[in-house]
Amino acid sequence: MGLLKFLFGSKKKDIYNRRTDFDNLINSPNYNYRQSEYYRLLKTEPLIDKIWGRGFDYPKYNDRFKTEEKLKLRELLLLVWWGKTKNGRKISASIPKYFFITYNLNAQKVTQLFRDKKWIVNEGDKVKLTNEGKLIYEKYCNLWEVHSFKGYPTNLDVDFPNWNKKQFEIMFYQKDLEYYNQHVEFCKRMLNYLEPLKRNTVNDGIRDDINFYRSQLKSDLLCIDDLKEKIKILNELM
């Protein structure tokens, strides 16, 4: 009995001492809880561009779509811009900078090309589409929706051929929903790691991280409910 007490008593004491040392360690304000497991978990955070299948630097055009008019879609987007207003644009209107910065167009030169093709004409102080210009406009007017779509990287040449705005919106919200569902699981993993440490420490960093991921989790769940409603409504409108 004395031997058993010595053996098991010694083991329990060893466990107690190691646990006490650990508690003292993590109770230190200087305890670094951000160790290998913490960083391993951080790497599991979902990335929206991976879910999209498109990076934030996804090009706005690639000039691969061949038009019957032998013009690039980014050039025809400029014609759509000229034709978007009901009563025409003023001759003195400033062409938006994004035609140069984003689409690498010499907008003045392309506009003159439209005049040469008799797609636009000057009427008084306005630039208006001709009948032929209106036909071209109607054919390519969806370029404006592709160009102006917010929140998701678009490419004129990739997205225009099969463009359907409602379907694209549904796809966009579904991908966002997938992201937030994955982010909820990520937040839970981080909290599962951090919360057991909180019970044994006064380390403010741990508490701050816990509050951060709890807030993120709450926000994610609200976004999920919102996205589900949007997807439901859009499907009803299809």
Residue 206: predicted pLDDT: 86
Report the alpha-carbon distance of residue 106 to residue 1 in Å, rounded: 95
Bridge partners for 90 per DSSP: 126
What's this model's pTM, rounded to 2 decimal places? 0.80
Residue 129, SS3 per DSSP: strand
- pLDDT for 38: 87
| CATH fold of the domain at 73-160 | Arc Repressor Mutant, subunit A (1.10.10)
Per-domain boundaries in the chain: 13-43, 73-160, 164-237
Q: Report the pLDDT value the prediction gives residue 204, as an integer from 0 to 100.
A: 76
Res 238: pLDDT: 83
Q: Report CA torsion sign: 51, 52, 56, 57.
A: positive
What per-residue confidence (pLDDT) applies to 28?
Answer: 53
Between CA 125 and CA 132, with CA 126 as vertex, the angle to 5 degrees is 145
Return the pLDDT at 33. 63
Other CB atoms within 10 Å distance of the CB of residue 79: 26
Say what the pLDDT of residue 35 is: 78
Torsion 233-234-235-237 (CA) sign: positive
Residues of the chain with pLDDT under 70: 1-33, 200-203
pLDDT of residue 198: 77
Using CA atoms, how far residue 94 sits from 54, 83, 100, 108, 118, in Å, is 32, 14, 12, 10, 21
Question: For residues 199 and 197, what is the distance between their CA atoms, to the nearest angstrom?
Answer: 5
DSSP label at residue 3: H
